[in-house]
Structure 1
Amino acid sequence: MLSKILKFCYFILVSLVLGCGENQNNSKDTPSTSEAEKAPEAKKSSAKTILCFGDSITAGYGLEDNNDAYPAVLQTKIDSLSLDYTVINSGVSGETTAGGKSRLSWILNQPIDIFLLELGGNDGLRGIPLTETSSNLQAIIDMIREKSPDTKIILAGMELPPNMGQDYTDEFRNIFYDLAKENDLAFIPFILKDVGGIAALNQNDGIHPTVEGHKIVGETVWEILKPMLEP
């Protein structure tokens, strides 16, 4: 019963907090778009590139050190196996699918071997028409494939709070399932699996993962990512 109450509270809070990064000015909590876009250029090397493209979940909103966000967890795992991959955190707090689409062309001006797409949550919380969210995500997928046909894409799904209405939340969830199936993508149904709704794994806002929460998010992503890596 307690678990159900926590999950309900989590979903209520998500609508108030997930998009809040858009208006934050604290550089510790909210990396600017320019900072996120500089990251790929700053980390150019001979290593293959894994780019995590998302919103506040990917950006590591609220952490003392953004290097504790799940992309850094992935890098640690990769390094422990001596694999030649560099993980780039290209998350921007408050990002919508439209915002992601608008900055994608610049991001694609570099070789990307694996592209993790984690966007859509803020669309749902703002009541953006589901057809628009789906269209934007499809456009992002199409842009990646047109620019870099060999890039492998992972699509990460998100869940909405039940107070948005059962029909809406179900249709929102199905956007990710349908896109993954139609485009034959590697798929993570819910990137906050085993983290969302668990107070001990979230910050005081009840939505953004703690350092420990990001470790679990990293494990969830790793299950899909690891088989895609080449020795």
Structure 2
Amino acid sequence: MLRRHFIRSVLWAAALGVSAAGHAADAPKVLVVGDSLSAEYGLARGTGWVALLTQKLQADKVPAQVVNASISGDTTAGGRARLPALLKTHQPKVVVIELGSNDALRGLSLQATQANLTAMTQAAQQAGAKVLLIGMQMPPNYGAAYGKQFSDLFGQVAKANGAALVPFMLKGVADQADALKLFQADRIHPTAEAHPTILANIYPSLRKMLP
């Protein structure tokens, strides 16, 4: 669904590089591997939750470098394929995995999604990084059974591999009574106004993983 901006997102991810929240050359790196929800799809640059994370770390005087390797339209299979090179290049201390939504929206096998997330988690851990999995939920029209299976798989991967977990990235956004006002016209991507809430969902868990 999000492939039309894929090339632009690839170029943006390459240009973004490392955003320093601290000036020390040896500051730990936080690698974010995600899809359009982390790649600022439809947003002004610097207004997505990853950019806000850099600002928050600076404000809290936490020395860290944030690397946003998110690409709009990416799947867990794509993230799994990209991860080894990212780990080698950046040598992160923390890896944030925000993938899976596009798998479900495209009707891909949830067993494959779980296997890909497991492989990514284990690869990051074997490289010496801590892992934070970002969970998602599907809209009700996908069916209760499917939705539960999808939302549960993130917790299952986290528990099986000793990774940290944010159960629902869009808590306080997608579950609001007037949620549509916090989404762009496509009703899929949150507006800039929603991203501080997204960061608030993620930051407490992430902060515990940094010195």
TM-score, scaled relative to structure 1: 0.82
* Greater Cα offset, 202-211 or 117-126: 202-211
- Write the distance in 1 (CA, Å) between the matches of 2:143 and 2:6: 32
Deviations 1:173-219 (A, max 9, x none): 11111111111111101111111251232222222111111111011
Q: Which residue in the other structure is 2:133 paired with?
A: 155
- Write the distance in 2 (CA, Å) between the matches of 1:185 and 1:217: 19
User: Residue type matched to 1:77 in 2?
Assistant: K
Which residues in structure 2 correspond to 1:79-228 (within 5 Å)? 79-109=58-88, 110-146=90-126, 148-149=127-128, 151-196=129-174, 198-228=179-209
Check the 8 A contact 2:137/2:147 in 1, yes or no: yes
Deviations 1:110-138 (A, max 9, x none): 22011110000110111111111111111
CA-based RMSD: 2.0
Q: Which residue in the other structure is 1:77 paired with?
A: 56
- Write the distance in 1 (CA, Å) between the matches of 2:7 and 2:118: 32
Deviations 1:150-177 (A, max 9, x none): x111000011122222211111111111
Give the paired residue count. Answer: 204
Check the 8 A contact 2:19/2:65 in 1, yes or no: no
TM-score, scaled relative to structure 2: 0.89
Structure-2 change in CA distance of 1:41 and 1:200 (3 Å) = closer
* Greater Cα offset, 178-187 or 221-230: 221-230
In the alignment, is residue 229 of structure 1 matched against residue 206 of structure 2? no
- Write the distance in 2 (CA, Å) between the matches of 1:180 and 1:84: 26
Alignment partner for residue 13 of structure 2, among 21, 36, 56? Answer: 36
Q: Which residue in the other structure is 1:53 paired with?
A: 33
**Structure (1 or 2) with the greater helix fraction:** 1
Structure-2 change in CA distance of 1:26 and 1:144 (3 Å) = closer
Identity %: 34
SS of corresponding position for 2:38: helix
Check the 8 A contact 1:40/1:107 in 2, yes or no: no
- Write the distance in 2 (CA, Å) between the matches of 1:82 and 1:25: 34
> Which blocks of at least 5 consecutive residues in structure 2 are unaligned?
none
Q: CA shift at 1:228, angstroms?
A: 2.1
Structure of higher RCO (CA pairs closer than 8 Å, 6+ residues apart): 1
- Write the distance in 1 (CA, Å) between the matches of 2:70 and 2:210: 22
* Greater Cα offset, 89-98 or 163-172: 163-172
- Write the distance in 2 (CA, Å) between the matches of 1:45 and 1:37: 20
> Which blocks of at least 5 consecutive residues in structure 1 are unaligned?
1-18
Structure-2 change in CA distance of 1:114 and 1:178 (3 Å) = same
- Write the distance in 2 (CA, Å) between the matches of 1:133 and 1:195: 24
Q: Which residue in the other structure is 1:68 paired with?
A: 47
